[in-house]
């Protein structure tokens, strides 16, 4: 008994130190004024950031908050500086932590790249259902609305001219750019750098190229650096600048060089993944991204396209035994004692809890999740439906 308690205690201490060593933004989100009518929402603990531009024709919001409570917090912070409604929601990258809060701001116009518009048009019924019911307080506005009704999309660049302000949206063309859009304010020198502008966080690129490739990142970073921004809002992490963008270029080049060297030594992929690290950037968040980063670079350097992942739907019931990242990552212990690592996405249809942040250890859960064939689901299996049982 004592041993178990003290082991748990040591683990807690270790986790505390592990956390303290990482470069993370604060425990609560910050709302920072960057120029006249321009604000950054800096997500808590390196969660997704957002950008707010106030004009006398409405607010332009870039990205929508990491989870429902964050989206509500973001909306409240916008209200604290203007009475203007949010009329445009720009999605800088089509991932749940950037797009997931969009229903809260409807009926605003959703401004996305053409590729993202195509993805939204292909949303499955469960995804539209989950989009609609994410904010119960908006149920009335959303009952007949689907994101596809609200779209304004563009192929490479578009300039919004609102209330005398110029807001430039651009996409860096690349076959594997999944629709990332940077937002540039030439008058104030403020840039939302979209996916590529990571700071203090290991990038989340994946062998299915669903977040682009490292080469795509380099192309994007080159275009961002050429603008010479005064201040950069990265997708995640604290406010940054051109020096940080350059650091990201160095990071990507070093990561590619490491994999290239191991390939030249004829190491097989599993060994490359095992040996790969980015310890030169030790205090950066999310070392869990290393496996996929190494495998993605290996594919790129081998001249391969994305892994095409096929999945089967699997159901499981059991009890939640661990919860991390505010309910994003779960461990479900099934009745026969097996641990299943699950990942709640912004598309997950949750019943019996308001949102993923309300999940608690010990809850009885029924989950329907996607099991990929021949693919390392390094962050867990994506959940389609999650039912919390009474």
Provide the 8-state DSSP code for 357. G
Question: Is the separation of the CB atoms in 221 and 258 below 8 Å?
Answer: no
Which CB, 95 or 202, lies closer to Zn ion? 95
- CA 8 – CA 358 distance, rounded (Å): 24
Which CB, 48 or 323, lies closer to Zn ion? 48
- Rg (the chain; Cα; Å): 21
Which CB, 95 or 199, lies closer to Zn ion? 95
Cis, peptide link before residue 107, omega less than 30° from 0: yes
As measured in angstroms, the least distance from the Cβ of 195 to Zn ion is 8
- CA 17 – CA 332 distance, rounded (Å): 26
Query: Judged by CB under 5 A, does residue 117 bind Zn ion?
Result: no
As measured in angstroms, the least distance from the Cβ of 92 to Zn ion is 9
Contact set for Zn ion, span 57-96 (CB under 5 A): 95
Interface with Zn ion (CB under 5 A), residue total 3
Stretch 317-336: interaction string toward Zn ion, x if CB under 5 A: --------------------
As measured in angstroms, the least distance from the Cβ of 117 to Zn ion is 19
As measured in angstroms, the least distance from the Cβ of 66 to Zn ion is 8
- In the complex, residue closest to Zn ion by CB: 97
DSSP string, 153-193: EESSEEEEEETTEEEEEE----TT--S--EEEETTTTEEE-
As measured in angstroms, the least distance from the Cβ of 83 to Zn ion is 30
Query: Judged by CB under 5 A, does residue 48 bind Zn ion?
Result: yes
Coil, helix or strand at residue 230: coil
- CA 252 – CA 10 distance, rounded (Å): 35
Which one of 97, 180, 300, 349 is in contact with Zn ion (CB under 5 A)? Answer: 97
As measured in angstroms, the least distance from the Cβ of 390 to Zn ion is 33
Question: Is the separation of the CB atoms in 219 and 172 below 8 Å?
Answer: yes
Binding site for Zn ion (CB under 5 A): 48, 95, 97
């Amino acid at each position: 008994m004592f041993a178990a308690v003290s082991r748990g205690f040591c683990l807690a201490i270790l986790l505390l130190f592990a956390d303290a060593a990482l470069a993370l933004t604060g425990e609560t989100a910050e709302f920072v004024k960057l120029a006249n009518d321009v604000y950054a929402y800096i997500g808590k603990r390196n969660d997704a950031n957002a950008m707010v531009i106030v004009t006398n024709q409405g607010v332009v919001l870039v990205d929508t908050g990491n989870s429902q409570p964050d989206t509500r917090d973001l909306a409240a912070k916008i209200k604290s500086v203007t009475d203007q409604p949010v009329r445009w929601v720009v999605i800088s990258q089509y991932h749940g932590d950037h797009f997931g809060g969009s229903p809260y701001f409807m009926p605003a116009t959703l401004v996305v790249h053409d590729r993202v518009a195509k993805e939204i048009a292909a949303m499955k019924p469960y995804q539209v259902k989950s989009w609609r019911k994410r904010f119960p307080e908006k149920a009335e506005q959303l009952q007949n609305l689907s994101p596809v009704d609200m779209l304004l999309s563009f192929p490479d660049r578009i300039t919004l001219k609102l209330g005398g302000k110029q807001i430039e949206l651009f996409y860096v063309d690349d076959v594997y750019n999944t629709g990332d859009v940077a937002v540039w304010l030439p008058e104030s020198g403020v840039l939302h750098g979209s996916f590529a502008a990571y700071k203090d966080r290991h990038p989340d690129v994946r062998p299915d190229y669903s977040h682009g490739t490292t080469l795509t990142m380099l192309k994007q970073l080159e275009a961002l650096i050429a603008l010479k921004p005064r201040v950069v809002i990265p997708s995640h992490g604290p406010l940054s600048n051109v020096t940080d963008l350059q650091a990201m270029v160095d990071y990507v080049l070093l990561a590619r060089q490491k994999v290239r060297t191991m390939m030249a030594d004829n190491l097989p992929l599993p060994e490359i993944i095992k040996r790969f690290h980015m310890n030169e950037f030790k205090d950066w968040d999310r070392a869990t991204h290393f496996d996929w980063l190494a495998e993605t670079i290996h594919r790129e350097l081998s001249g391969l396209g994305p892994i095409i992942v096929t999945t089967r739907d699997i159901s499981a019931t059991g009890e939640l035994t661990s919860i991390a990242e505010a309910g994003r990552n779960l461990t479900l212990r099934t009745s026969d004692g097996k641990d299943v690592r699950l990942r709640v996405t912004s598309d997950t249809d949750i019943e019996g809890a308001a949102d993923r942040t309300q999940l608690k250890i010990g809850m009885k859960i029924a989950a329907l999740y996607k099991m990929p064939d021949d693919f390392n689901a390094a962050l867990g299996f994506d959940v389609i439906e999650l039912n919390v049982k009474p």
